[in-house]
Amino acid sequence: MVLIGFYKYSTRESTSDLSKYQGKSRRDYMSVTNGIQMNTNSVGVQQGGPNSSSLENSHQHIIEEFEKGLNPTDLNASKVEAHVLGYGEISTVFQIDGLDTVACKRMPLFENKTDAETYENNYRLYCRHLSDAGLTIPNDDTQVIENQGRPVTLYIIQDQLPVNNFAHKLIHTESDKEAESIIRSIVLEIKKIWDYNKQKSPDLELALDGQLSNWVKDGDQFVYIDTSTPLFKIKGLEQLDPELFLKSAPSFLRWLIRWLFLQDVMDRYYNLRQVLLDLVGNLYKENKPELIPAVLEIINDNLDGNDEPINEKEVTKYYKEDKLIWALFLALRRFDRWLKTTLFRQRYEYILPGKIER
């Protein structure tokens, strides 16, 4: 997600290759792509309650040891080796040594186990709804870890997908025509959520982060991987505690962020036009602005009848504002880390990206 989804990039190439599973049924693919028995019985739908993890004990042990020995401010000084696959505002995505086929999303957000399990339950429900709406999501599992004197951490574990198949990579390696076709497919996937919301209204409403880095090509379909922020409403009531986002923000600024833009940022993901505006704005960040006019045509053809078409000026303005907000936010988080680790000699729980190219 974007409060959540602005500063992700991959730092390492994955060697797995989805194409070798083509021709198999989706379910075969799910079971072949990882050596780990995941908690799934159909396309990415979790079964069972929060404690029904089906990760093998030895794998659970590796994640536990990783968390125990993790040094968030100096990853190289951690006991178990790992690579960062991507950064989020509330999660860091790791490939942990010994668990080479999965991506482990670490969320050190919770004051107690109950809060972590509530989140875990919401996560499962959200994934189930994404699948029901017609999206394809990776095979997955979860693990909650408690360590004395530290926040309770939730790990969301997904099949690791090939970095070269992520949409933000493909738009650079494929022709512009193919890139447009990829984005058209993604727009159609995004619309499935709003069709589903119409069907389920007023009982249920799902939000989605449509950014290019959240979609991975698998044959002729796209897998949605950014499932770790379960934003959805039941009978109009938000299920995600917004304060969880603020946990990763500098403590001295939480009131300001809450007051200035928290609600606004959360609401954005419930609005199809905003999600598509964010998607097209992404082309600036991904350094492909030449695709914007063609993508705007695709998007405007797919907006709700009542929505105003989006023009290039609006995209530029939106992108500039967002870039500023998130650059400021990251700078403040770095300052907060410095205060905590250098001045107060405390542990800083979050892992911040280095310089971001935008």
Ligand X SMILES: Nc1ncnc2c1ncn2[C@@H]1O[C@H](COP(=O)(O)OP(=O)(O)OP(=O)(O)O)[C@@H](O)[C@H]1O
353 forms part of the interface with ligand X (CB under 6 A): no
217 binds, among Mg ion, ligand X, none (CB under 5 to 8 A by kind): none
* Interacting positions 4-43 with Mg ion (CB under 5 A): 5
DSSP state of 81: -
Cα separation of 107 and 101, whole Å?
A: 20
Tell me how far the alpha carbon of residue 66 is from its chain's centroid. 21
Cα separation of 221 and 109, whole Å?
A: 33
290's tokens:
């030449």
Which one of 53, 131, 139, 160 is in contact with ligand X (CB under 6 A)? 160
88 forms part of the interface with ligand X (CB under 6 A): yes
138 forms part of the interface with ligand X (CB under 6 A): yes
DSSP state of 347: -
Tell me how far the alpha carbon of residue 150 is from its chain's centroid. 24
Smallest separation (angstroms) from Mg ion to the CB of 24: 27
161 binds, among ligand X, Mg ion, none (CB under 5 to 8 A by kind): ligand X
Nearer to ligand X, 104 or 204 (CB): 104
Smallest separation (angstroms) from ligand X to the CB of 63: 15
250 forms part of the interface with Mg ion (CB under 5 A): no
Residues in contact with ligand X, shown as a per-residue x/- string from 222 to 251 under the rule CB under 6 A: ---xx-xx----------------------
Cα separation of 139 and 18, whole Å?
A: 13
Nearer to Mg ion, 66 or 224 (CB): 224
Which one of 38, 137, 161, 179 is in contact with ligand X (CB under 6 A)? 161
- Tell me the residue number closest to Mg ion, measured at CB: 226
Nearer to Mg ion, 80 or 182 (CB): 182
- Beta strands 102-110; 82-87: pairing state: unpaired
Alpha helix segments (H runs only) across the chain: 26-32, 57-68, 113-132, 167-173, 176-200, 243-246, 254-257, 263-268, 272-285, 292-302, 312-338
* Interacting positions 2-31 with ligand X (CB under 6 A): 4-5, 8, 10
135 forms part of the interface with ligand X (CB under 6 A): no
Smallest separation (angstroms) from Mg ion to the CB of 177: 26
Number of residues that bind ligand X (CB under 6 A): 25
Exposure of 60 by Cβ count < 10 A (0-12 exposed, 13-18 middle, 19+ buried)? middle
Residue partners of 61: CB distance under 8 A and separation at least 6: none
285 binds, among ligand X, Mg ion, none (CB under 5 to 8 A by kind): none
Segment interacting with ligand X, rule: CB under 6 A, options 81-89, 108-116, 325-333, 338-346:
81-89
The per-residue b/e assignment along 200-238, b for 16 or more CB within 10 angstroms, e otherwise, is: beeebbbbbbbbbbbbbbbeeebbbbbbbbbbbbeeeeb
Q: How far is CA 117 from CA 125, 148, 154, 246, in A?
A: 12, 17, 8, 19
DSSP string across 84-122: EEEE-SS-EEEEETT-TTEEEEEEEEESSHHHHHHHHHH
86 binds, among Mg ion, ligand X, none (CB under 5 to 8 A by kind): ligand X
* Interacting positions 212-231 with Mg ion (CB under 5 A): 214, 226
Which one of 91, 139, 142, 153 is in contact with ligand X (CB under 6 A)? 91
Cα separation of 149 and 172, whole Å?
A: 45
User: Which chain residues interact with Mg ion by CB under 5 A?
Assistant: 5, 214, 226
User: Which chain residues interact with ligand X by CB under 6 A?
Assistant: 1, 4-5, 8, 10, 85-86, 88-91, 93, 103, 105, 138, 158-161, 213-214, 225-226, 228-229
